[in-house]
Amino acid sequence: MANIYDGAFRTILNDCRKLIIPVINEIFGETYTGEEEIQFFPNEHFIYQQDEADKERITDTNFTVFGKIPKKYHIECESSLPDGKIAIRLFEYDAQIALDEGEVTEETLTVTFPNTAVLYLRIYKKTPDRMKYVIITPGGTVQYDVPIMKVQKYSLDDIFEKRLLMLIPFYIFSHEKSFPEYNSNEQKLAELKVEYQEILERLDELEQQGVIGAFDKRTIIELSGDVIKEIAQKYENVQKGVGDIMGGALIETEARTILNQGKIQGINETKQLTALRMLKMGKLTIEEIAECSELSVAEVEQLAGLQTV
């Protein structure tokens, strides 16, 4: 469902908010450094309707970047077929965002509309390169473009070179049309798995370089797994093949976090990681895991206890 993708987008934006800066630079041609303060505002807005109950609208994003000049942004994530309704919905959001923060001075209302854009996860023939608002008022006509970012047009090299890392959970959309082939062709599926292994390796490099933190990397991996699980639910081999890669990386990340926190001492790291993976899978008994990992039952029980902390 679309709300899975919306949820992933909101989560990575709110939990790893600095990752939005390169996306803003790409869409709007800004030159933010990534050191700017970002302030988020409530996503819930109520649209007044005459003779009807007010409608609640929930935006994907509503935030201000405090650069040399503070600028407000509103970005929506969309996976459905363009039908003209999204432009209406966007304008409703923008108008309400502007009105919520409007100022009245001596009976003069001043409202500021946000910089708005749409991230399209899927590309259709009807998907435009940009939308446009044309507002006809008694004082004149105002019009401006609403830019569109087509996620599928960005290659892995584009994503990493431009630091568009918050697009990684949605990279699988670029392969969606090939799912039937991947599901029935082991060689093609293997190629896709290699691509995702490359993603993990490049994320590791960025973490080692200090470009992203361990939490950012973990969030990207976790949300990538969630999106893959949803989009490939009709293709078991794809879901399992690629999903297991991301799931395994997530388990290893969790295991290393436990190790780095110093909660376990005196046990070989490789054996620990092996046991933690097996515990996460939940398919073997404590005794079987101890035998496979060459740890004692007590040591495996210790690891199992830490998983619940």
Which string of DSSP letters, residue by residue, matches 4-48?
Answer: HHHHHHHHHHHHSGGGHHHHHHHHH-----S-SEEEE---EEEE-
30 pLDDT higher than 90: yes
Query: Can you read off the two tokens belonging to residue 142?
Result: 């105002």
pLDDT at site 108:
92
With 90 as the cut, is the pLDDT of residue 31 above it? yes
Query: What length does the chain have?
Result: 309
Q: Rg of the chain's alpha carbons, rounded to an integer?
A: 23
Per the model's pLDDT, the better-predicted residue between 194 and 279 turns out to be 194
Using the predicted structure, report yes or no on whether residue 259 has a pLDDT greater than 70: no
Residue 146 DSSP code: E
Q: Which of 173, 124, 164, 130 is nearest to 148 (CA)?
A: 130
Q: What is the pLDDT of residue 166?
A: 94
Query: Is pLDDT at 172 greater than 90 in this prediction?
Result: yes
Confidence tier at 45 by pLDDT (50, 70, 90): very low
Q: 192 vs 23, 64, 130, 204, 247, CA distance in Å?
A: 25, 37, 31, 19, 15
88-121 pLDDT, tens digit per residue, is: 889 988 998 898 888 899 889 999 999 999 999 9
8 A C-beta contact, residue 68 and residue 74: no
Looking at the chain, the whole-number percentage of residues with pLDDT higher than 90 is 44
> Confidence class of residue 215 from pLDDT cuts 50, 70 and 90?
confident
pTM, whole model, 2 decimals?
0.74
Query: Average pLDDT, stretch 27-52?
Result: 74
Q: Tell me what the pLDDT averaged over the chain comes to.
A: 84
Does residue 298 have a pLDDT over 60?
A: yes
pLDDT digit string (tens) for 125-162?
Answer: 888 888 999 999 999 999 999 999 999 999 999 999 99
Dihedral, CA of residue 142, residue 77, residue 207 and residue 172, to nearest 10: -130
* Whole-angstrom distance, CA of residue 178 vs CA of residue 156: 17
Give the residue with greater pLDDT, 195 vs 276: 195
* pLDDT above 50 (res 263): no
